[in-house]
Amino acid sequence: MKTTFLAAPDKLALVFARAALMFLSVVIPAYNEEARLPLTLGRVLEYLDSRQGGGEILVVNDGSSDGTAEAAAGFVSRVTLLENPGNRGKGYSVRHGMLKAQGDWVLFSDADLSAPIEECEKLLAATEQGGYEVAIGSRALDRSLIGVHQSVFRENAGRVFNLLMRLLTGLTFKDTQCGFKLFSRRAAQEIFRRQRLERFGFDVEVLYLAQKLGFAAVEVPVRWNHSEGTKVSMLGDSLEMFLDLWRVRRNDRRGLYDMPAETVTPVCGSTGPRP
């Protein structure tokens, strides 16, 4: 698995031009995002309208208790609203949207657009240039691209998580938790059909599945700004994420990744509200 990409200026221009012709699906998981969703959808629509290939937006409402559904419905002619059966978690929401998407390429992005939607062009260009079917945005490859940092505590916790993730899964990515990941439709269908984890640990799981299934992946540095209002609890969710590393290895040993998730009972995290 590679971590970045380079090309001569003329070749890179051609790569970007080809990437712009691809039909793109953007999946946005949303839990109580009434306040920022209208601005986010406006920005994503503006970006898609600027692309020759066009695209679609799928908002997955994860049992929100505010006006998230109504905010998405305000864009009814341009946005597909998917409803989860209650509050199931970010991983479930992303899986729901990825399997419904119709694009040649499918991006999932956090609703706060911490990674600006325009950074998707970097991911598309990386896949076009290197023949990859998965491209993930990374904050760790070039930290000078971070405008607004998380707290020191969160950043250090992320480094510890990444170290343990590498040790337990064998993956070599420097940042698995950036909510900005692109998959070919073929890869998305094969990977997310096998996904089991429904909360924040799903990022590692889908990258582990990509490697297991033979989909080449590339890590690409992107611009990123921390946004207040994160749904991740540093106590409860961080513990679950560490446990999810063990669950990924356990699922693989038990052969659960050899079949689509619909045929087995999903492995979930703790009970209670799932942001």
- The residue extents of the domains of the chain are 9-255
pLDDT at residue number 183:
98
pLDDT at residue number 19:
61
Spatial CB neighbours of 251, under 8 Å, sequence gap ≥ 6: 196, 205, 257, 267
Residue 227 φ then ψ, to 5°: -115, 135
Instruction: Name the percent of the chain lying above pLDDT 70.
Output: 84
pLDDT grade for 268, boundaries at 50, 70 and 90: very low
Q: Is the pLDDT of residue 230 over 70?
A: no
pLDDT at residue number 5:
47
* Residue 135, Cβ density class (10 Å: 0-12 exposed, 13-18 middle, ≥19 buried): buried
* Rounded Cα gap, residues 205 and 58, in angstroms: 22
Please tell me the CATH superfamily of domain 9-255, with its number: Spore Coat Polysaccharide Biosynthesis Protein SpsA; Chain A (3.90.550.10)
pLDDT at residue number 241:
87
Q: Is the pLDDT of residue 23 over 80?
A: yes
Q: Return the higher-pLDDT residue of 18 and 165.
A: 165
